[in-house]
């Protein structure tokens, strides 16, 4: 039995995760795959229930599973908690560290049916297909932090730290992905200013000698942000450190028409974690407005990466494409002349196509 830990989390998490689970079950049924879903608490929901955003029981559940499907965490309700108890800091960062999830894979693909939904000109994004690899367990988010009083206020420090092995492993993964795609890798850094970026570039350059079939280029993060808007199709695989990746992937999400369309996979340890890249969207939670497609596509990534169930994963992706071809849209990707549906109906439409 394939064991999957299910962590709906906060906000719209409880609405977008169930359609993804149903898609996994339906896609697997055709090929004789069976799944055991076990639910756990994370984020603000976990804090309200247990007093901590990442309970030990949840961490144990994840470690005993093959994969984790996560909805979203956080919201205004928990913003005034001590920093270490806030869902984003007390749940997301630790679970990545505990599971050894050092690489976040974020495919940025524009469905042909949604090319007009992008805020960029159609010709700039039509056919866009980028894989962004974000280092996930190092950098500013995990470095030492300090706040100390000084005359006139405070002195605040966030420490940006990377080691050679941390850079090597995520760069190596990125080179291997580039070999399987277009054979081009862009490393994003700020080597003209930061010592960590200079070492990042040194490690990547040295590693490139092992991958002579991959064309390596470097770009500063500020220029990269501009180029993603100016000419996004120049990129194939991109690799960058934690905070740069956090920012650039949200920017890249808008190229696709909506952040509600982008899945992700966090890998590196024995158990991988799959989640949409959007947040908990508390303003629309419980209103049947959220787009479940990113979560459904994250589940397809799980079938492909964790279970090597290529055909089942492809079936889910084809079903999503067919629903879009049929003109169905949630509010975030709504276009003139299309048919607007809610979270539940969008999930049901995907299921209908999976059932054939």
Residue 117 lies in a domain: no
In this structure, the answer to whether residues 22 and 97 fall within a common structural domain is yes
What is the pLDDT at residue 254?
84
Please determine, for residue 296, whether its predicted confidence score (pLDDT) is greater than 90: yes
Instruction: Kindly state the tokens that stand for 34.
Output: 């069976």
The answer to the question of residue 107 being in a domain is no
Q: Which domain holds residue 145?
A: 129-255
Q: 245 and 323, same structural domain?
A: no
Same domain, 342 and 323: yes
Tokens matching residue 119: 């805020």
DSSP state of 91: I
Average pLDDT over residues 286-299: 97
Strand partners, 36: 3
Question: For 191, which DSSP code?
Answer: T
Whether residue 140 sits in one domain with residue 236:
yes
Cα–Cα nearest to 68, from 293, 298, 282: 298
Q: From the CB of residue 121, how many other CB atoms can be counted at a distance below 10 Å? A: 10
What pLDDT is stored for residue 260 in this prediction?
84
Give the pLDDT mean for 113-135.
92
Pair (133, 248) in one structural domain: yes
- The verdict on 225 and 282 lying in the same domain is no
Average pLDDT rounded to a whole number, residues 32-50: 97
- pLDDT reading at 117 higher than 90: no
The average pLDDT across 192-221 equals 98
The backbone torsions φ and ψ at residue 256, rounded to the nearest 5 degrees and listed phi first, read -85, -10
Residue 1 has pLDDT above 90, yes or no: no
Is 31 inside a domain boundary?
A: yes
Whether residue 121 lies inside any domain: the answer is: no
The pLDDT of residue 169 is 98
pLDDT value, residue 307: 97
Active site residues: 141, 190, 222, 246, 250
Instruction: Say if residue 63's pLDDT is above 90.
Output: yes
CA 290 vs CA 74, 77, 329: distances in Å: 16, 19, 11
Residue 289 lies in a domain: yes
Asked if residue 230 and residue 139 are part of one domain, the reply reads yes
Q: pLDDT tens, 231-286?
A: 999 999 999 999 999 999 989 988 888 888 899 999 999 999 999 998 999 999 99
Nearest partner of 275 among 288, 286, 285, 260, judged by Cα: 260
Alpha carbon separation from 98 to 136, 171, 270, 275 (Å, rounded): 12, 21, 11, 17
pLDDT at position 150 over 90: yes
Give 303's pLDDT tier (boundaries 50, 70, 90): very high
* 120: in domain: no
Average pLDDT over residues 50-76: 97
Domain count, the chain: 2
The pLDDT of residue 118 is above 90? no
Q: Tokens for 324?
A: 């879009």
Q: What is the CA radius of gyration of the chain?
A: 20
Measured in degrees and rounded to the nearest 5, phi and psi for residue 40 equal -140, 170
Are 183 and 281 part of one and the same domain?
no
Predicted local distance difference test score (pLDDT) of residue 253: 86
Burial 204-241 (b: 16+ CB within 10 A, else e): beebbeebeebebebbbbeebbeebeeebeebbbbbbb
Please give the Cα distance from 299 to 17 (Å, whole number).
9
Query: 3-state DSSP: the chain helix, strand, coil percent, rounded to 5?
Result: 45, 20, 30
Domain harbouring 55, CATH code: 3.40.718.10
Average pLDDT value for residue range 118-145: 94
């Amino acid at each position: 039995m394939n064991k999957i830990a299910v962590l709906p989390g906060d906000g719209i998490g409880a609405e977008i995760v169930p359609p993804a689970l149903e898609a996994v079950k339906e896609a697997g049924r055709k090929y004789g795959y069976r799944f055991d879903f076990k639910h756990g608490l994370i984020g603000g929901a976990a804090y309200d229930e247990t007093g901590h955003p990442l309970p030990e029981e949840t961490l144990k559940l994840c470690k005993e599973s093959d994969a984790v499907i996560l909805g979203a965490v956080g919201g205004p309700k928990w913003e005034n908690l001590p920093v270490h108890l806030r869902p984003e800091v007390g749940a997301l960062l630790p679970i990545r560290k505990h599971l050894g999830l050092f690489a976040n894979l974020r495919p940025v693909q524009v469905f042909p049916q949604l090319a007009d939904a992008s805020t960029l000109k159609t010709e700039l994004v039509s056919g866009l297909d980028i894989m962004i690899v974000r280092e996930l367990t190092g950098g500013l988010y995990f470095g030492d932090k300090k706040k100390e009083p000084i005359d006139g206020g405070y002195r605040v420090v966030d420490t940006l730290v990377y080691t050679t092995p941390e850079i090597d492993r995520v760069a190596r993964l990125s080179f291997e992905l580039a070999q399987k795609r277009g054979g081009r890798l862009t490393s994003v850094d700020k080597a003209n200013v930061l010592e960590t970026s200079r070492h990042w570039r040194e490690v990547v350059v040295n590693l490139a000698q092992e991958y002579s079939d991959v064309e390596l280029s470097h770009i500063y993060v500020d220029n990269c942000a501009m180029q993603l808007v100016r000419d996004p199709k120049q990129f194939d695989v991109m690799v960058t450190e934690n905070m740069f990746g956090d920012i650039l992937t949200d920017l890249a999400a808008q190229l696709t028409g909506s952040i509600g369309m982008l899945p992700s996979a966090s890998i590196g340890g024995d158990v991988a974690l799959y989640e949409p890249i959007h947040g908990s969207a508390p303003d629309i939670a419980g209103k049947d407005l959220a787009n479940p497609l990113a979560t459904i596509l994250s589940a397809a990534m799980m079938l492909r990466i964790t279970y090597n169930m290529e055909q089942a994963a492809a079936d889910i992706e084809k079903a999503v494409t067919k629903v879009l071809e049929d003109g169905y849209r949630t509010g975030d990707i709504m276009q003139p002349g299309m048919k607007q549906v809610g979270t539940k109906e969008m999930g049901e439409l995907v299921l209908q196509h999976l059932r054939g």
